[in-house]
Amino acid sequence: MSGGRYGPETDRTYERAGFGAAVRRGSRPALVVVDLTRGFTEDRFACGADLTDVVESTATLVRAARAAGAPVLYTVIAYTPAEAEGHSVTWLDKAPGLRVLTEGSEAVAIDPRLPREPEDVVVVKKGASAFFGTSLAANLVAAGCDTVLLCGATTSGCLRASAVDAVQSGFPVLVPRECAGDRAQGPHEAALFDIDAKYGDVIGLSEALDYLRRLPDA
């Protein structure tokens, strides 16, 4: 675990608690791109931010995953008009800014700068985690995957929630730092610290690319 951000006392506390060990790297990873839709990657949307750098880094990772034979899966948040306008999704009462994410709208379109292919699975979700109430875990099991490379937005919200559920579903988690983005730097860094301490390894994009290049099928 990368130390120092919150001081030596925090580092000692986490080390004493036994957090921060490295996770295993499997031979059949999948790349899961969480919610890099226009509503999150473009700052013209109230719930979004300019995540150009994150999108470009993720595009590089997608191409590398495809070259290595690793499945690429995308997630999007999309609500029916009834869900977006009503109170059946409790999360929307807490985060009403997400009500713009309606089915078929521009806000839920996957960022066109990403090299999505027709064979890529797209998982529609209603909550923060890419796993909760979706087919993602079954998709990964069916593809024989043993590791999840996780990227997307937002780091402190859907990405972190997905990392927690991924490891709880039995998948080691790797998060390339350059491929994660948020609306504000403080929550972004805090979430990366938390993921790296408890749920997966936060790594550099170069390390992720090297990992993919070394796979048996690459």
| Residues carrying an active site annotation | 158
| Beta bridge mates, 102 | 79
- What's the rounded Cα separation, in Å, for the pair 131 and 146? 15
The residue behind tokens 């029916």 is: 80
- What's the rounded Cα separation, in Å, for the pair 176 and 147? 13
Contact 19, 1 (CB under 8 A): yes
Contact 78, 124 (CB under 8 A): yes
Which tokens in the block code for residue 182? Answer: 């948020």
- What's the rounded Cα separation, in Å, for the pair 99 and 93? 9
Parallel, antiparallel, or unpaired: how do β-strands 29-34 and 72-77 relate? parallel
The residue behind tokens 């379109």 is: 109
Sign of the alpha-carbon dihedral angle for 146, 213, 72, 193:
positive
